[in-house]
């Protein structure tokens, strides 16, 4: 079973249009969104403990 999954993983096109579509589907399913410049600025402003 695992060998078959690894084979599919190795064959996946990580640079094509499919990955963009699949990432969008995953974000929508989990209720996430793409990060923004504002997100990066907010995280960068947080103090490191």
Give per-residue pLDDT as tens, 1-49: 788 899 999 999 999 999 999 999 999 999 999 999 999 999 999 888 7
Q: Which pLDDT score, from 0 to 100, does residue 27 have?
A: 97
Q: Are 33 and 27 in contact (CB under 8 A)?
A: yes
- Per-domain residue ranges for the chain? 2-45
Task: Read off φ and ψ for residue 12, nearest 5 degrees.
Answer: -65, 140
Q: Which pLDDT score, from 0 to 100, does residue 4 have?
A: 86
């Amino acid at each position: 079973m695992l060998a078959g999954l690894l084979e599919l993983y190795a064959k996946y096109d990580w640079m094509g249009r499919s990955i963009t579509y699949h990432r969008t589907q995953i974000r929508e399913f989990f209720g996430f969104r793409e990060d923004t410049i504002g997100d990066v600025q907010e995280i960068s402003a947080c103090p490191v403990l």
